[in-house]
Structure 1
Amino acid sequence: MRGPKRSRTTWIVLAVAFAAVVWSLDGTGVSVANLAAGWEGARDIFSGLFPPELDGELLQAVGRAALETLQISIAALFFGTIGGLVLAVLMAGNIGAPRWLSGGARLIATVCRSVPELLWALVFVAVVGLGPAAGVYAISLHAAGLLAKLVSEQLEAVDPAPVEAMRMTGASKLATGLLAVIPQARNNIASLVLYQWECNIRSSAIIGFVGAGGIGQALGISMRLFRYQELATLMIALLLLVVAVDQISRFLRRRMGAATR
């Protein structure tokens, strides 16, 4: 009886999922006709991107913007990782933090990751003004909330046997967490941190549109002034930056023993 019942449940889930997709497509107005109707405008934009602008002065400015984007991503990773790890340790159930403390940490993490980086950037632009500092603060908060959730799940997924063995010896919660929980999850945690670095690069490009520095700010100016060849150069620089960070992350993950190809 279990087989037919499971089969019916699967079909019901698939039917509900299909209905949700159809409902979403209808509500958002997604259709091939819309794409076809706007193709001419898109073609004008794409044709304006070529050839990219390769003026020496522009390339120097693009290089400075790329370096600023890299600085934003690294600084935000530093603050986000510290905040995320602290929150994750407090949130993880097998660490055993007091309920009021773990609940507070979970609330803070939820707020940090629920607010998009773009909104955080608008807040910090109003607080500290235009520039990369606002981008660092904005990305740091979102990264801390996201890492807190993902890292706490990694901590809770470790093998419970060493944890219980240490507790049976009378070890404190702090010692158990430091010696039995975190060492088991450290490679996965490091991989998550490296992936967050890649996300920070992309996020810094987005929040730059509201004046938070980096390539994103230059992209926003080029788009508003319809400088499409300059925009193409900036897009290529951003692509190269993302690829470089991705390769560095893959190299570091391989060094840590992660199975990357």
Structure 2
Amino acid sequence: MTTDVRRLAVPPKPRRPRALLGAGVLAAALVVAHVIAWDATDFSPAALADGWTGMADFLGEAFPPDLSWGVLGPSLEAALVTLWIGLLGTTLSIPFALALALLAARGTTPSGWIYQLARSVLSFLRAVPEVVFALIFVTAVGLGPFPGVLALVFHNVGVMGKLWAEAIEDADPGPATALRSAGASRVQVATHALLPLVTPQLFGLLLYRFDVNVRSSLVLGLVGAGGIGFLINQSIKLFRFDQMLTHILVVLVLIILVDQLSALVRRRLGDNA
């Protein structure tokens, strides 16, 4: 009994020269881009080395920090205001971000043109920095924490709406498909299939944005939007670098506490999942 053995043709090897050529072109383009960026930004390690004396004088005037209660007390109060700005800027943006996220996700948007419109709105809000929004609202409503909250709300809607829309689109399509086949509407699919699946991920992204917004609210204070950033700006203008260092240390403690709180909430969510 004989068995015929058929020899299968060996598939041709992929054309590596073309792949190597593409990688070489990409590497050359990156090198050229970095050379142009180096020249356009006046990047100069020599200038940094020559300025070490000024940096030493700055640090000498900043140390030791002024820890008197006349400086530390207002610094702690302003740090709390910074925390409240970040908190309100995050939570007040939730309903708007969620609505735009549902309209900007392919599985929940009513139509293609609404999808494109929602994506465009999110892109615009995300493209305008918080500082620009803060300058606009400071002009509109005056100095203080309120324009900082408004700036964070507008920018955070764009960022968080985009992140939530992508999370909804990446959800398991099985439950949504089953509900659609049973005749469920888009609202029912979103509320009973998609949102329950991605809620832990949405909450994790919300905590991340709260962390970022607390840091951003510090910068907003530099343009008059309240908080401890305003005190840092005042200290720099008055050349009171010892007070500035006190405010920076308070900011450091605030950021560490926010990080620990976010980590604790994430662990509790993971335990309950």
TM-score (norm 2): 0.90
**Greater gyration radius:** 2
Aligned length: 258
Partner of 1:94: 107
Q: Does 1:15 align with 2:41?
A: no
Distance 1:237 1:12 in 2: 49
Aligned-pair identity in percent equals 36
Q: Does 1:255 align with 2:268?
A: yes
Q: Does 1:232 align with 2:227?
A: no
- Which of 43, 51, 54 in structure 1 is aligned with 2:67? 54
Match of 2:14, as an amino acid? R
Matches within 5 A, 1:118-197: 118-197=131-210
- Is the Cα contact below 8 Å between 1:91 and 1:97 reproduced in 2? no
Give deviations 1:238-261, integer Å, cap 9, x for gaps. Answer: 111111111111111112229xxx
Structure 1: which 5+ runs fail to align?
none
Match of 1:212, as an amino acid? A
- Is the Cα contact below 8 Å between 1:118 and 1:207 reproduced in 2? yes
Q: Which secondary structure state, in structure 2, belongs to the residue aligned with residue 87 of structure 1? A: helix
Give deviations 1:163-204, integer Å, cap 9, x for gaps. Answer: 212211111111111122122221111111111111111111
Distance 2:230 2:93 in 1: 22
Give deviations 1:108-130, integer Å, cap 9, x for gaps. Answer: 21221111111111111111111
Distance 1:161 1:14, change over 3 A: farther
Match of 1:98, as an amino acid? S
Q: Does 1:72 align with 2:96?
A: no
Over the residues paired in the alignment, what is the CA RMSD in angstroms?
1.5
Give deviations 1:62-108, integer Å, cap 9, x for gaps. Answer: 11101101111111111122221111111001113223332322222
Distance 1:108 1:249 in 2: 29
Distance 1:55 1:44 in 2: 22
Distance 1:232 1:106, change over 3 A: same
What is the deviation of 1:3? Answer: 5.4
Q: Which moved more, 1:156-165 or 1:112-121?
A: 156-165
What is the deviation of 1:38? Answer: 2.0
Distance 1:12 1:184, change over 3 A: farther
- Which of 219, 235, 247 in structure 2 is aligned with 1:206? 219
Q: Which secondary structure state, in structure 1, belongs to the residue aligned with residue 270 of structure 2? A: coil
Match of 1:158, as an amino acid? A
Partner of 1:33: 46
Match of 1:119, as an amino acid? V
Distance 2:191 2:148 in 1: 32
- Is the Cα contact below 8 Å between 1:91 and 1:106 reproduced in 2? yes
Q: Which secondary structure state, in structure 1, belongs to the residue aligned with residue 92 of structure 2? A: helix
Partner of 2:120: 107
What is the deviation of 1:16? Answer: 1.7
Distance 2:248 2:126 in 1: 27
TM-score (norm 1): 0.94
Distance 2:256 2:14 in 1: 49
Distance 1:231 1:3 in 2: 61
